[in-house]
Structure 1
Amino acid sequence: MPATPAGMLASRATRARAKAGLSLRALAEKLGYPHTYLSRVERGEQLPSEALAEALDDFYGTDGLFADLLVVTVAAEVPVYGRKVLEEEKRAARIQTFNSSVVPGLLQTEPYTYALFTESMPGKDAEKVALQVAMRSHRRTVLDSATPPLYWAIMDEAALRRPVGGPAIMAEQIRHLLDTIANNSAVRVQVLPFTRGVHPLLGGSLSLLTLRDGLTFAYVESFASGTSVDTPADVLELTTLLDIARSKALDSGESVTLFREYLKEYEDDTDS
């Protein structure tokens, strides 16, 4: 395991279990987590949730070791410009986001994310890509919390048309979108179709995070850079741009219909 915070976390989890004389299945029974999940954590293929990190600390009596390693791992792997977003996502009351070319991050499946990172991170080794996928998976837990933020995503139709990873992965991704929309009342997704023409957010992504105290800040990302914006005038300007894009988007029902059309197309391509 590499000498990185993520590698240390995985190694210490494995060593602690071995020292306790437990198999993965035995530990899973004691903690109440699937043994496959614990296995991925020990192999460094997935980061533990905050709840699992705390459970490991309680079970092994490690005084916050795993919780601290998780914090350090996240901080080490996230670019400086994106750390504020990661810190505030868990405390947000509402997250509004627009993506012009890919499925919004918190709605991505792991195979989709892996295919996306493999193609978009040239020169990165497999371990680095796997860690980035694990990071994205870890972030998605915010939507599964007891009090999730209202997550309102707008995505350009280009994200559906571009076959990231091929037809099978795209079909799985769209099924996940439909399942999330149907079963998570905190999630709303709209598609901005090609037929609505140009809009003010072409070529980038924008997120607006509103915290529970009412404060809103914006995060603009393009390629390998990003900027957090919190001055009221600039946030207002970006909010207006997002509102214009949303006004051109399909409503929720129309978006679901378009998702199903693309799903059928990708399923047909998979079967052919």
Structure 2
Amino acid sequence: MELEPEEDEKPGSPAQMLAKRAKKARKQYGGTGLALRALGTKLGFPHSYLARVESGEQLPSLALAETMDDFYETDGLFTDLLALTLAVSAETPKWGHKVLEAEKRAGRIQTFNSSVVPGLLQTEAYTTALYTESMPGKDAENITLQVAKRAHRRAVLDSAVPPLYWAIMDEAALRRPVGGAAVMADQIRHILKMTETKSNVQVQVLPFSRGVHPLLGGSLSLLTLRDGATFAYVESFASGVSVESPADVLELATLLDIARSKALDSGESVSLFREYLKEYEDAE
């Protein structure tokens, strides 16, 4: 399917081009076009999701981009635009580039976060609310890019050979209502589903009742690659650093072990998740 540009169409960012082309493809389909609900039925995606993609409020997932290319016979247009959109986004801090690459090659990822839900466990709505509140001055398109990048990072847990993902989160991440009660309820349901359906995902909660621990106020990730090499990544506020010295990695691993020893076991963590889930559901 050839998508002819309109006479008044002006060049924009890759994200804007993707949204415009998605809308144009639907309106030109079959010569008469399709309604969003009809398109949603044909593609197997909610029409509300497609509407957000066409308006530029949300980027399509890779699965949707590939489905659109197949349906419209656009020879990879939408997957290419999606890849370009993510590639030109330069918001990932330099200190985070290594960890993003290592996640794809890791055999084991251990992480602790003291204030929010760990990134690879976040739902899209939670990530959106988190970025909207924590990135003052950023426009909607910029936030959309960050949410999409986080979503694509999560794909590592669904890969053919996924890493063991062992997350410890402070109870503060459950108590803080990012995005409101409905978003939090959905976020907790997502974590429970991940732990119930994926044997490679383990999640523990470090409750307030266990007192202080050595990782208050920041986050720590230990990534072990499939060749056995391990490095640490420490992040706090608006800075972060990769740590590769064996002695320093060992020291940080010890701190993570101490935090893990204070955390609830898997069954106890599930019980606490369900307590918070009921609380947020009652507040909806």
SS at match of 1:90: helix
Within 5 Å, give how 1:20-99 maps onto structure 2: 23=34, 34=45, 36=47, 40-50=52-62, 69-75=81-87, 76=89, 77-99=91-113
* Pair 128,171 (structure 1): closer, same or farther in 2 beyond 3 Å: same
Change (3 A) 1:26 1:257: closer
Q: What TM-score results when the alignment is normalised by the length of structure 1? A: 0.82
162, 165, 168: which one pairs with 2:182?
A: 168
Indicate if the aligned counterparts of 2:113 and 2:219 stay in contact, CA closer than 8 A.
Answer: yes
How do 1:177-188 residues align onto structure 2 when only pairs under 5 Å count?
Answer: 177-188=191-202
Return the offset for 1:53.
Answer: 5.4
Q: 1:58 to 1:209 in 2, by over 3 A?
A: farther
Distance 1:267 1:25, change over 3 A: closer
C-alpha deviation, 1:158, in angstroms: 0.6
Could you tell me which of 234, 243, 266 is aligned with 2:248?
234
Cα RMSD of the aligned pairs, angstroms, is: 3.0
Alignment length (residue pairs): 269
What TM-score do you get using the length of structure 2 for normalisation? 0.79
Contact 2:57 2:140 in 1 (8 A): no
Q: Equivalent residue for 1:3?
A: 12
Aligned to 1:200: 214
Segments of structure 2 that go 5 or more residues without pairing to the other structure are 1-9
Structure 1: gaps (5+ residues) = none
Quote the residue 1:209 is aligned against: 223
After superposition, residues 119-134 of structure 1 pair within 5 angstroms as 119-134=133-148
Please state how far the C-alpha of 1:188 moved relative to its aligned partner.
0.5
Amino acid at match of 2:268: E
Query: Is this contact kept in 2: 1:45–1:131, CA < 8 A?
Result: no
- Whether 2:263 is the aligned partner of 1:249: answer yes
Query: Contact between 1:48 and 1:138, CA under 8 Å: does it hold in 2?
Result: no
Separation of aligned partners in 1, 2:102 and 2:70: 26
Per the alignment, do residues 63 and 84 of structure 1 end up closer, same or farther by CA in structure 2, a change over 3 Å counting?
Answer: farther
- Cα offsets for 1:184-204 (capped at 9, x unmatched): 111100001111111111101
User: Secondary structure of 2:203's match?
Assistant: strand
Alignment counterpart, residue 235 of structure 2, candidates 203, 212, 221: 221
Asked which structure has the greater CA Rg, the reply is 2
